[in-house]
Structure 1
């Protein structure tokens, strides 16, 4: 049976429940996923004076083929994008600046240091997102940045964040699509602090200074990202969920939720509807924690499906900015991008192929028996046939055939590095 025939048969199953599959596929085409560049080089970046990875971040593994230059990283991203259906975005950190061998401190970065990325994005029809990099630096060696007791160090990071917002504004103007600029900091303490308030006061003051700089929201969207704990900040993180949620609401900024930044039993899917009652938009970094914020490659697990369901059934596809954040150096990095991004898109398609309105009504009526029965039955509906057809229509490999492309690229390109 052909992919088209399987699709038509599957479509009839969904149509029985009033689900317009063709309409769902058209809607899916319009959803961009922001693909993080740092999977391709293990969060190394291209700074001339770069140091060791720090800030509670760890990348394990030494699979061959890591990108060593901007050109190699862009080449790897291009390969991954040929295996992923849809038009998407690429998310950069400040450490991916290109300074032509010149040492440029992070507080002195300018749009010109990202011209190659912008030209590449134009050629490939991509949007760009951005992040100031407040880790892996001598001025963050003690685990503190924007909340540091030393005013000079705080000023350095404040100026870096301001410079990053200006770079993001440049991206937005050049590409005709607003850039999400997300601030995450590693600040915290390994052991129980004697004063939780003072560092938070300093963080709030630093953020206020960063956002004093007027940046056109037509081109740049600001977000702040919380974390529960990290390596070296096990007992206390200055930028907690409560801190950033309050700051974002009070200052009209986006709150970014990273799925790996919470307690293992605390689900981001459960936060989305609550936060959208009070925020016009929110942002996600979708990862997969394994016991801690280990940033494993995203799989099609229950939480990913539930996140997608919350976005789709609450008509929030234009309200939630979806980005990815994982890094695994133990497997082929192009494959990691492909697996994770395809799974994110699969989860959204799966959510569109559920009779969400009917299930909502059953809940309102108190008919929990039928609600549970249908939720379970739809788990084995022929979703795979719809996905295969979508991939074929979008001109990317169907099923696991994309692995052959990756193996060929590894043999011809990655193995020669």
Structure 2
């Protein structure tokens, strides 16, 4: 099979070379792109600090597929299996509730030591770590408000938690030599129409100012802020809207996080990238797949994923954008969900990198829209799959759907015994 893959690649390489595309160089560049894979797919966003706490904050995970991780060791074991089937070296995105400690500790008291096992594991695996404060699934968030809470004491609890999260993120970056992105998302909002939309946003702005007051080494930690249009329990009004965080991020030199599921169903984040890139220091992407709402389905190689990849490649934004995943599906094998979503994201980037971008751009500048349309359409059937197969072989991971056999065996040997 490998001989056939090699022959297919050599033939594809010739076809792309006719348009000035060096597939060997493309694969070298692809190998340097890191995708931040979210840990919470593996245990349905339960975490380990407060596992008996009801999942709140407008987050819902459906399904009861067997084998969810119950401990940090099980979650890391599952992620190792997933990464063994995904080409390249990547990052793991942690939430604060995934602290690995026997100590009873509150969110505002978390320290780097509570995540030392994650750092040790990441070093062994050659992975980076990203981080998020967990502003949901907690008794102090049950009324739907955290950083914009009208009660100063509760608001201060969440401020202190976010401060602690930033220090943990900086610890990750320093220890691993890879910058940690610490992303702040809160569920704050009203189910029905509020009288005062301004006051909660003023409180949120003041709280964020306090959260970010401590200067941290940007080589170790970069801050991001994430918006949302609506959520379960905040259908009428979300404090941290896109306009709020876009303004705050640009004014305060923070990364702006765009989640594919956090906008109106007819909006797409791909069309926002070029605009934000002109004014923001960087963009964090939460690549997901909304289905009618922020349902966080497993990422497939659909039109929007391809458009996100094209925008990143065509606009030379890969060094300014940080790619993370955010989905959770308990109706299918959780390891398979990671593999499918991550491989699709990398495939989409590869497809975008195998386009004749210079020719397309030149045709557009000259007003030759016929050539622009013809080439973009013809390249949809160019043999990118042959290049992808070769890349998988080169990176030592299974080709095509053969990875599924390993996941099925892992399910029988490990997951069904939990």
Fold shared by both chains (TM-score > 0.5): yes
Any conservation in 1 of the 2:190–2:235 contact (CA below 8 Å)? yes
2:93 aligned partner:
91
1:41 aligned partner:
43
Query: More displaced, 392-401 or 279-288?
Result: 279-288
Secondary structure of 1:35 counterpart: strand
Instruction: Please list the CA deviations of residues 98-156 of structure 1 after superposition, one character each: whole Å capped at 9, or x if unmatched.
Output: 221x3211000011100000000000010000000000000000110001110001000
1:168 aligned partner:
169
CA shift, 1:278, in A, is 1.1
2:18 aligned partner:
16
CA RMSD of aligned residues (A): 0.8
CA shift, 1:372, in A, is 1.1
**Gaps in structure 1 of 5+ consecutive residues:** none
Cα distance in structure 2, aligned partners of 1:73 and 1:98: 11
2:390 aligned partner:
389
- 1:138-177, aligned counterparts within 5 Å? 138-177=139-178
Any conservation in 2 of the 1:49–1:103 contact (CA below 8 Å)? no
- 1:2-401, aligned counterparts within 5 Å? 2-48=4-50, 50-100=52-102, 102-401=103-402
TM-score (norm: length of structure 1): 0.99
Any conservation in 2 of the 1:94–1:130 contact (CA below 8 Å)? yes
Cα distance in structure 1, aligned partners of 2:271 and 2:219: 30
| Aligned length, in residue pairs | 416
CA shift, 1:313, in A, is 1.1
Cα distance in structure 2, aligned partners of 1:317 and 1:216: 22
**Gaps in structure 2 of 5+ consecutive residues:** none
Cα distance in structure 2, aligned partners of 1:99 and 1:382: 49
Instruction: Please list the CA deviations of residues 294-320 of structure 1 after superposition, one character each: whole Å capped at 9, or x if unmatched.
Output: 000000001000100110111111110
CA shift, 1:279, in A, is 1.9
Cα distance in structure 1, aligned partners of 2:51 and 2:13: 55
Any conservation in 1 of the 2:50–2:97 contact (CA below 8 Å)? no
Cα distance in structure 1, aligned partners of 2:117 and 2:82: 19
Query: More displaced, 359-368 or 316-325?
Result: 359-368
Secondary structure of 2:280 counterpart: coil
CA shift, 1:66, in A, is 0.4
Any conservation in 1 of the 2:12–2:386 contact (CA below 8 Å)? yes
CA shift, 1:368, in A, is 1.4
CA shift, 1:42, in A, is 0.3
Instruction: Please list the CA deviations of residues 361-408 of structure 1 after superposition, one character each: whole Å capped at 9, or x if unmatched.
Output: 111111112211111111111110000000000000000000000001
Runs of 4+ in structure 1 displaced over 4 angstroms? none
